[in-house]
Homo-oligomer: A and B are copies of this chain.
């Protein structure tokens, strides 16, 4: 019984990840994705594992991690388990960074909410005066 290793075209991966084929090739070129196997022809043949990795990359990107740092992380990942400590360090730094950003966003959110309330009151009062 073969392990079901689904083979995917670049189009299918694009659909599965929300990236364009351009971006998928770009990510491979700059080392965010390992060199994808080709079929007997020259075309890329992705695995479901590749899709998993790409989706994880997208999570990292969504945290605001830079391409440079993602390149470093991807390189470490390819080097295997002995790089786990350094990857954990990167993730811890990322966590702190994200926590700080969430904190800042919450502060600014308060200011925005304050302004909304303030301006809403002024608008109400102005309408009352006019009526």
Cβ–Cβ < 8 Å partners of A60 in chain B: 108
Cβ–Cβ < 8 Å partners of A92 in chain B: 116
**Residues of chain A at interface, number, CB under 8 A:** 32
Contact with B along A69-103 (1 / 0, CB 8 A): 00000000000010011011001101100110110
Contact with B along A99-131 (1 / 0, CB 8 A): 101101110110111011001101100100000
Q: Once the chains bind, are B123 and A84 in contact (CB under 8 Å)?
A: yes
Question: Is A1 at the interface (CB under 8 A from chain B)?
Answer: no
Cβ–Cβ < 8 Å partners of A85 in chain B: 123
* Cβ distance A128 to chain B, nearest Cβ, rounded Å: 14
Cβ–Cβ < 8 Å partners of A101 in chain B: 105
A109 and B87 alpha carbons, distance in the complex (Å): 15
